[in-house]
A = this chain, B = another copy of it.
Amino acid sequence: MNASNLIQQIADTVGVHRSTVLRILRGDLEYRRPSYVQRAERVRELAARYGYRPNTAARAVAEQRFRAVAFLNHRDRQFSHLPSPLIDGVQDALDAAGLGLLLTRCSDTDLADPGYAPKVLRECCVDGLLVNVNALPNPRLYDLLDRPDTPSLWLNIRAGRNCICPDDRAAARSLTEALIARGHQRIGYLGFGTVRHYSKAERPAGYRDAMEAAGLEPCAITGPPGSIAGGGRALLASAMTTLATGPGPAVWIGYSTFECIQVLHLAQAQGLRLGEDLLLASFVDKPGGGNRMLCAEAVAPSYDLGRTGVDALVRRIAGELEQPEIALPWTITTDIEPHPNWA
**Chain A residues with a Cβ under 8 A of chain B:** 2-3, 48, 51, 53-58, 60-61, 64, 66, 71, 77, 82, 84, 87-88, 91, 95, 100-105, 115, 118-119, 121-125, 261, 264-265, 268, 291, 339-341
Contact = CB atoms under 8 A, between A and B. Distances in A.
A77 B66 contact: no
Contact of A51 (B77, B118, B340): B118
B51 A115 contact: yes
Counted per complex, copies of this chain come to: 2
A146 B84 CA distance: 30
Contacts of A64: 2
A88 B84 contact: no
A61 B268 CA distance: 66
A115 B49 CA distance: 10
Contacts of A124: 56, 100
Given A56-B122, A125-B125, 17 more contacts: A2-B64, A48-B115, A51-B115, A53-B118, A53-B119, A53-B121, A77-B84, A77-B88, A87-B103, A95-B105, A100-B102, A100-B124, A102-B103, A261-B341, A264-B340, A264-B341, A265-B340
A61 B57 contact: yes
A1 to B, nearest CB: 10
Given A57-B125, A341-B264, A103 B291 contact: no
A7 to B, nearest CB: 13
B54 A122 contact: yes
B53 A57 contact: no
A91 to B, nearest CB: 6
Contacts of A268: 340-341
A47 to B, nearest CB: 11
Nearest to A269: B340
A340 B3 CA distance: 65
A125 B56 contact: yes
A59 B3 CA distance: 16
